[in-house]
Amino acid sequence: MDKKIILSGIQATGKLTLGNYLGAIDNWVKMQEEYDCYYMIANLHSLTVRNDPEELKNNTLKILAIYIAAGLDPNKNTIFIQSQIKEHAELGWILDCYTYMGELSRMTQFKDKSAKHADNINAGLFTYPVLMAADILLYQADLVPVGEDQRQHLEITRDIAERFNKVYGKTFVIPDAYVRKESARIMGLQDPESKMSKSATNLNDVIFLEDEPEVILKKFKKAVTDSENKVKFDPENKPGVSNLMQIYSSITSKTMPEIESEFNGKGYGDFKMTVANSVIDKLKPIQEKYKEILNNKEYLEEIYTKGAENARKMASKTLEDVKQKIGIL
């Protein structure tokens, strides 16, 4: 039987965080044996905010280097850069014409981002989920491993695909979101009520994958907890402690009851140190490999060139089918 198809991606804007790693990349690594995987760097999505052109290029390669350093095998997966497959932009436009303004205006990410960038609410920010739908549908993906914040974008992707299939007959596979419970939503260390985000203004709120061990330790020591001094999973009343437990659980695969008993009778000081060290130990080999790979531009080019060749085969087949069905010569 054919393997199921997976597609996912990360925007090429800013530095990657522990949220991106635990919510996305780490799960992808676990899926690479069982599925036929397409992992891309969404550099066209990055254009919805203003970037320095050199920085955008560098970020694209940095993310590729992180993918490989984290354990994605370029021989087992198709790893590519979104902009190198022209079919994404083309199908994106076609699907724009099958998507309603009303559905796009309900997207919470659009509302959040337009509040944050009130001076640059561009049309790309609005139609962003349609390009994401094109990314997914071009590869006939069955599953899309993402964090909780992307679930709504998966729902609109399914709606667009179902709408298209209904008019033109089966064209797209209807994809499911794959959201891993423990790492679905890693929260900020200073503000555990909000998602850990690349664009945080308080740098102590976020662990970047490039942070040195001392920095990681310092940030965990400063993490907001509560005054109860009891390690217990209760996201509503103890969001800070529960978030640290989620991080620890995602890394060690220990369950919440196991973690609670491990720290029974111990204070938050011990707990924070243990969580910090688990993160440091997990990231250390990735950071070392990352530095090595990033210096090898030829190797990176080889990977994305091969990835693009492979991705293009599938993408062009789907787009050709779509164009025939809708009457585009």
Binding site for ligand TYM (CB under 6 A): 7-11, 19-20, 23-24, 42, 45, 132, 135-136, 144, 146-147, 149-150, 183, 185-186, 195-196
| Look-up of token digits 């990055």 | 46
Residue nearest to ligand TYM (CB): 23
* Shortest Å distance, C-beta 133 to ligand TYM: 8
**Cross-strand pairs, 6:** 37, 143
Q: Which of 94, 71, 5, 79 is nearest to 42 (CA)?
A: 79
Q: What are phi and psi of 259, to 5 degrees?
A: -70, -40
Nearer to ligand TYM, 26 or 230 (CB): 26
- Distance CA(17)–CA(40), nearest Å, equals 17
- Distance CA(145)–CA(134), nearest Å, equals 16
86 is an active site residue:
no
Taking the chain, what is the end-to-end CA distance rounded to the nearest angstrom? 35
Kindly report the number of other CB atoms within 10 A of residue 269's CB atom: 10
Nearer to ligand TYM, 74 or 147 (CB): 147
Q: What are phi and psi of 100, to 5 degrees?
A: -95, 145
Nearer to ligand TYM, 138 or 303 (CB): 138
Pairing between β-strand 5-11 and β-strand 36-42 as defined by DSSP bridges = parallel
* Shortest Å distance, C-beta 231 to ligand TYM: 21
* Shortest Å distance, C-beta 158 to ligand TYM: 13
- Distance CA(226)–CA(52), nearest Å, equals 40
- Distance CA(264)–CA(219), nearest Å, equals 23
Exactly one of 4, 15, 198, 254 is catalytic; name it. 198
282 is an active site residue:
no
* Shortest Å distance, C-beta 298 to ligand TYM: 26
- Distance CA(182)–CA(256), nearest Å, equals 10
Nearer to ligand TYM, 210 or 262 (CB): 210
* Shortest Å distance, C-beta 65 to ligand TYM: 16
Nearer to ligand TYM, 103 or 149 (CB): 149
**CB of 17 closer than 8 Å to CB of 196:** yes
- Distance CA(279)–CA(249), nearest Å, equals 11
Rg of the chain taking only CA atoms, in angstroms? 20
Nearer to ligand TYM, 175 or 230 (CB): 175
Q: Which tokens hold the place of 125?
A: 């920010």
* Shortest Å distance, C-beta 130 to ligand TYM: 11
- Distance CA(21)–CA(25), nearest Å, equals 5
113 is an active site residue:
yes
Exactly one of 30, 62, 86, 113 is catalytic; name it. 113
**CB of 21 closer than 8 Å to CB of 290:** no
Catalytically annotated residues: 113, 195, 198
